Amino acid sequence: MKFVLPIVFLFIVTLSIDAIAQGGGAPLSSTIKNNKQSQQDLKVKSSKDAKKLVKSRFGGKVLKVESKKSGYQVKLFKTDGHIISVYVDAKTGKISGG
């Protein structure tokens, strides 16, 4: 009877090691891998890319670029004197507003 507890403990440790070996214990590496994949899927990968995209579409001078949850907010001084604010979706590269 005194061997039951060590045997149960050994059994639990063995199951835990098996789960780790099968990848169940490595969520960090898979998260890093998923983040790299997500970054590769983006059309606009940085605020610099957003700035170039908006400037090529509207001309003028970019005043400010802010990173948002899924894209970038860009404030632009157009050549006609108007100041506009547009949103650039990072995944699609679509520009809205303006």
43-98: what CATH class?
alpha beta
- The predicted pLDDT at position 12 comes to 72
β-sheet bridge partners, residue 88: 72, 95
Q: For residues 64 and 71, is the Cβ–Cβ distance under 8 A? A: no
CA distance 44 to 93: 6
Tokens at residue 63, please? Answer: 């005043």
Give the containing element (helix H, strand E) for 97.
strand 95-97
Q: For residues 57 and 74, is the Cβ–Cβ distance under 8 A? A: no
> Is pTM, for the whole model, over 0.75?
no
pLDDT tens across 18-59, in order?
656 666 555 555 555 555 555 568 899 999 999 999 999 999
